[in-house]
Amino acid sequence: MIAEKIILGIDPGTAVMGFGLISVKKGKMEMVAVHELILKKYPNHETKLKYIFEKTLALIDEYHPDEVALEAPFFGKNVQSMLKLGRAQGVAMAASLYRNVPITEYSPKKIKMAITGNGNASKEQVAGMLQNLFKLKEFPTKYLDASDGLAVAVCHHFNSGTITDTKSYSGWDSFLKQNPDRLK
């Protein structure tokens, strides 16, 4: 049995990217860190993607997570927004795979369901449940994207060993085997 497992949860975004880290020791969760990256200030999409990649690598190098969990992009009406969000997620995935950290994706509904019991819960409800779960007087960040990143990590812990409708990759070879259509 692993004595401790560190999980990095990421809510990818191009305006704000949230992340949360939890430690799991003997089945007990502790919040290690929660924060957001403010990307609105960067002049273009390429610079934002570069910063997401560098920050994800820095988080991995600082905290040495055993696993990374990401929120999968949701399907919306704005194709350009979906494309940008998918790129942000892809860059975070690439950084994790670059450091050989296994990744797992979760749908927004699955994350909300794991935290609140309601797949249609609001961001405020998710943050409130996490605040209660970790016994926080108030949530330590300005944006709810950070609580979403923490929620992804918690969802991953709750679903460890019972993952059914998620995708998990242990490296580039694993990613390519599960996604042969992405290889050109």
| Residues 15/143, Cβ–Cβ less than 8 Å | no
Nearest CA to 111 among 165, 65, 64?
165
71 is in an annotated binding site: yes
145 is in an annotated binding site: yes
Structure tokens at 162: 């019972």
11 is in an annotated binding site: yes
| Residues 37/17, Cβ–Cβ less than 8 Å | yes
**Catalytic residue ranges:** 11, 71, 145
Number of neighbours of residue 126 by Cβ within 10 angstroms: 24
Q: Residues annotated as binding site?
A: 11, 71, 145
**Binding site as annotated, residues for Mg(2+):** 11, 71, 145
